[in-house]
Structure 1
């Protein structure tokens, strides 16, 4: 796949550079209404940047789709905690970390849950040290759960709850963040990338990791969780909402670094107390630092929650690519800020 995109990109570059006069135009700023004859040619450099941007966005969308298709394949049988299927997902995540310069946080990537009664269960935890001599001692956890509910009845011949939106979408998003930071290493604070098991069993995996990190007395700045980000919200002026929106200034900080209205308030999230229902909650309980979840599931845009119909084919990969692209500057801003700007109210 990589070679295909290299060839495609090279073709576009050659096409853009072959014409003696570039036909693409922009409005003359002295004539904003664009009267005929008052247009200026776009420079070749600007056109090449535009082409590169389009190719990059498409490549990101394709990469996201490939990860999603694997995590939601029938071979993984719904990624139930302790199952052979979720072990294949864990191996995939570990390889993704390893191939993108993300170190194991513990002696291995696996953070095994003690005394789990239904098979062996483990979080997958990666680590990227900070680059600043002082800020590297502060940590940001970026997380999502990679388990789902496995096999269920009531779906006719299909019994596999593949869990695309819930939460292969969040897992894939975190893996894209890991790829970005692993390549660029532009993080002054240290980052823990945590993919949790047993969220569907009662946040068991995140409770285990939060307690372990608290026992280590790490200096946790904030925990940023991603849950169900596979489809866009309906009739909203923002792409994501934040659970516990009113509890902190995280939405304001997020939008400032994103340079747009990226994160908003969803009344249903407060009504159903979603702040307590995802993997951010154990970190809030253990550390009492801003620990919140970003999501785009608005109770009207996806009807396949915990059903066999939660399939990869229903996901909007261009939307997911947009989420990654718009969220990376936000994460960089939070991770690299000289002081701890995100605070509970």
Structure 2
């Protein structure tokens, strides 16, 4: 099955067979978006600042370029739980199946960071490359893939959240809106801090709250390998509750998880002015993105809701 989907992806991008290409996403595209988001001109992407206008406009343009429609009346949805004007950026690709399109898959990441920090060696800009320009970049690559493929049976909502660093405010705002509108959300999948590979781990990524559903198992089954796993530090710090997956789990009672490769040993620049583009492993990011695409494609197109909360 995995070989079949890789072959489809290769054919779609103009290659005759799977042996001629090893990747789906674009290194050039990853580098371009990551460089823009982490540039000093963004001043650390703090919500409600003038510099966030530049980030929002850039992300909106990706949706426009790939003809992805706004989920709301525009791509920008102002959150109502923060004291400065701050916006989630949200696009949607409607499902092609007449029945399954009524079920929604939310794919997200937060694009904000902490802004300016204490001066260190002449630098006070916390650029937030690993936290979480890398996750935002991953979502934009998935936007490009599914916009071209046009094969998603279920509807995909791509959500780039603001004010995660202020307490998951953007994702709480959106989860509550969707719950009040009685949207049928199948699952939520979130990218967080995937810029540097883990050390001495058997799997490529770990998943937060891994025991709360069978999502990781299904993603491994699709790949024919264990690329999604568990690390004890995830439970120790209760990471499941500290990223944008959690509001969807708490509010909507659905499978909602984050994948990450930040293991508290492989990167020392969390919320630091040295969290810069140059420290990111672009090829590692591409590997995470491509494996996510192949797994999510099958999850989105499965005939039934095979991803289930534990105990259901």
Query: Which moves more between the two structures, 300-309 or 251-260?
Result: 251-260
Cross-structure match for 1:53:
21
Residue 241 of structure 1: which of 199, 203, 206 is its match?
206
Once residues 233 and 64 of structure 1 are traced to their aligned partners in structure 2, the CA distance between those partners, rounded to angstroms, is: 20
Give the structure 1 partner of residue 61 of structure 2: 95
C-alpha contact 1:231 1:301 (8 A) present in aligned 2: yes
Displacement after TM superposition at 1:156 (Å): 2.8
Corresponding residue to 1:151 among 87, 107, 116: 116
Residue in 1 aligned with 2:129? 164
- Runs (4+) of structure 1 moved beyond 4 Å? none
- For residues 39-78 of structure 1, the aligned pairs below 5 Å read 50=19, 52-53=20-21, 60-78=26-44
**TM-score computed with the length of structure 2 as normaliser:** 0.92
Cross-structure match for 1:110: 76
Structure 1 residue matching 2:259: 3-state secondary structure: strand
More relative contact order, 1 or 2 (CA 8 Å, 6+ apart): 2
Tell me the residue number matched to 1:327. Answer: 292
**What SS does the corresponding residue of 2:271 show, helix, strand or coil?**
coil
Counterpart Cα distance in 2 of 1:62 and 1:94? 19
Partner of 1:134: 99
Shift of residue 70, structure 1, vs aligned partner? 0.4
Q: Which residue is equivalent to 2:280?
A: 315
Distance 2:65 2:224 in 1: 31
Shift of 1:183: 0.6
Q: Is contact 1:101-1:183 (8 Å) kept?
A: no
Per-residue deviation, residues 21-41 of structure 1 (Å, max 9, x unmatched): xxxxxxxxxxxxxxxxxxxxx
1:109-165 deviation per Cα after TM superposition (whole angstroms, max 9, x unaligned): 001012631x31010000000000100000000000000000011423100000000
For residue 245 of structure 1, report the CA deviation from its aligned partner. Answer: 0.9
Equivalent residues of 2:71, 2:92 under 8 A apart: yes
Residues 38 and 127 of structure 2 are in contact (CA less than 8 Å); yes or no, is this contact kept in structure 1?
A: yes
Measured in 2, the distance between the counterparts of 1:213 and 1:115 equals 15
- Structure index of larger Rg: 1
CA contact (8 A) 2:81 2:169 kept: no
Answering whether residue 243 of structure 2 is matched by residue 272 of structure 1, we say: no
Distance 1:317 1:268 in 2: 24
RMSD of Structure 2 on Structure 1 (CA): 1.4
